[in-house]
Amino acid sequence: MKALLLSILSILIMGSEAIAASKSANLNTREKPLVDVDIGGSAGTYNGRSFSEINLGVNLNFTDWLTWRNAAFKRFSSQGDKDISGLDSTLRFINTSRFDSSAVRVFAGAGYRFADPSEKNALLGEAGLALTVGRFGIGGGAKYLKYDKLQIDLAGNETKRDDLIYFITLSGGTGFSF
């Protein structure tokens, strides 16, 4: 896991150097949509059992205030629960306050989780806060999931149909305009 995180961080740094060499980033205006990539991790509990998730997100920033985010995720469950993988797709509304070459962003959005197994498909809502300095950022927040189907535990009993996840996201360095 440590080697994977170091590899991803290296890719982000190399990407930022290439972008900086080709064009200076300007946080004040966005003439074209920008695609960028982030990585993240989260943790939570479900029915008294802990889990952790990792994700790789691709963001299509239509404007400074509207982003469509698609993130492939993998949930690692504890105590015999089945691991879950899939795609979270959300539309985020963003409010940005800029300070020189840095920015503070507050975001909130809604979307859908496409999961395997499909019993874990869910509507989702999320909100958070991010700090960006140059092209690098760190953010955090909470994600609420409302599962489409009844949730059944290993003993065959119905369990709760919602979930709350806290997350941290690292971003920056990679991106392009089209």
Amino acid, single-letter form, for residue 51: F
How confident is the model over 146-164, as a mean pLDDT?
A: 86
Q: Give the Cα separation of 85 and 90 in Å (integer).
A: 16
Q: Which two tokens stand for residue 61?
A: 């920033």
* 107 φψ region: left (φ > 0), alpha (ψ -120 to 50), beta (else): beta
Distance, CA of 165 to CA of 136 (rounded, Å): 23
- Greater pLDDT, 93 or 158: 93
pLDDT by residue (tens digit) across 44-74? 888 778 899 999 999 999 998 999 999 999 9
Whole-prediction pTM value? 0.77
Count CB atoms within 10 A of the CB of residue 168: 14
3-state secondary structure string, 33-89? CEEEEEEEEEEEEECCEEEEEEEEEEEEECCCCEEEEEEEEEEEECCCCCCEEEEEE
CATH of the domain at 25: 2.40.160.20
What DSSP line would sit under 128-175, residue for residue? EEEEEETTEEEEEEEEEEEESS-EE-TTS-EE-SEEEEEEEEEEEEEE
pLDDT band at 178 (very low <50, low <70, confident <90, very high): low
Predicted confidence (pLDDT) at residue 174 exceeds the cutoff of 70: no
Q: How many structural domains are present in the chain?
A: 1
Q: Please state, in angstroms and rounded to a whole number, the distance separating the CA atoms of residues 14 and 22.
A: 13
Higher pLDDT, 29 or 172: 172
Candidates 68, 94, 175, 83; CA nearest to 120 is 83
- Phi-psi label, residue 105: left if phi above 0, alpha if psi -120 to 50, beta otherwise: beta
The residue range of the domain holding 42 is 2-177
Element spanning 123, H or E: strand 122-133
Q: Quick: pLDDT tens for 99-130.
A: 888 999 999 999 999 999 899 999 999 999 99
Measure the N-to-C terminal CA separation of the chain; round to a whole number of Å.
33
